[in-house]
Structure 1
Amino acid sequence: MSTVREKLIEATFQEVFTSGYSAASLANILNRAEVKKGAMYHYFPSKKNMVLAMINEKLEQRTKNKWEPIINEDGNLIDILISILQDTKGFNLNEGCPLGNLLQEQLGEDEDFKNILTSILKKWKDIFVSILEKSKEKNQINKDINTLQCATFLIASIEGAILLSKKSNDKQDFEDCMIQLINYINSLR
């Protein structure tokens, strides 16, 4: 059974993901969570604080859950990364990436959002750098690859492809981008 706080975090995620932060309705969040406003104030002083907690707990964990396990795999890490990129079901191409959506909406609007979102983005980049460094150690990619630049490019390409697919409402855009990104990744070998 979920606690009131967990229900609020989940409802906040759903509301912000479907509506964006600015359009997210506190009433909708409370209805989704089946929680009264007074109970919300026991945990969070405002909608902003609740959204910041959701970002910190939910979005960071989603990023880690999707990408960090690659680091500990025994097989070819590049092949594993490619298989994730080829699995379009692993990406929400209609509503976009929750992290990417918030980055677009809030990055320049509020210092608190900027700090937490850029922190998660940095952790994602660090995960990709680790994957690429381990791939170098295992002789799966060229030793002269600049892993920080490569990680930045991979994230930008993935986020851009998701955004393009969301805006065009056509998953083919994502698939086409992934074909080219995979060609790039294969060129690192």
Structure 2
Amino acid sequence: MPRAFSAITFTPAVRAAQERYGSRERNLLFEEDSDERNLITERERALIPDIDTFFMSSVGANGWPYVQHRGGPRGFVKILDDHTLGFADYAGNRQYISAGNLMNDDRVMLILMDFAHRRRLKIWGRARMIHESDEPALLAMLHMPAYRARVERGYIITVLALDFNCPQHITARYTEEEFFAMFEPKESP
């Protein structure tokens, strides 16, 4: 069984591009790997609660892709089980492009970024929106009361595939908190 992400992404056109550019043989390893990588494991559990920013793509009814930044306090992305993530969607620019796209096609891809440690987790999944009027208990689980932003809805993502990606071109960036923590005096034993 191949990795779930290669089953989703290695279309005939992608395989042809890999062949043309000389990486097809190396990418066969993804297709021959017995670990499907479609479960949230300890490795992902070590990253996801620290995330405060990610990017989510969706596809419009006209076929055009759309990528949107999602942000919140650390921990706003919740692991609900080994196959499911959720997050509260806070009020933003009120264009509702992702929300509208998901009404037509529930496929999404998330790119979770940990800039300080130069890590990137790619997640392919299917999303559904939840609203307080329909699922108040589930939306309440996603809400972070200390974060003073208005929750408009929640997103529940069923994880179909995930993969950590090469850190080669990720520039280290730090939040203010991370930056000042680097200069705090360390306690001596």
The TM-score range, normalised by the shorter chain, is under 0.3
Structure 1 or 2: more strand by fraction: 2
More helix by share: 1
TM-score (norm 2): 0.26
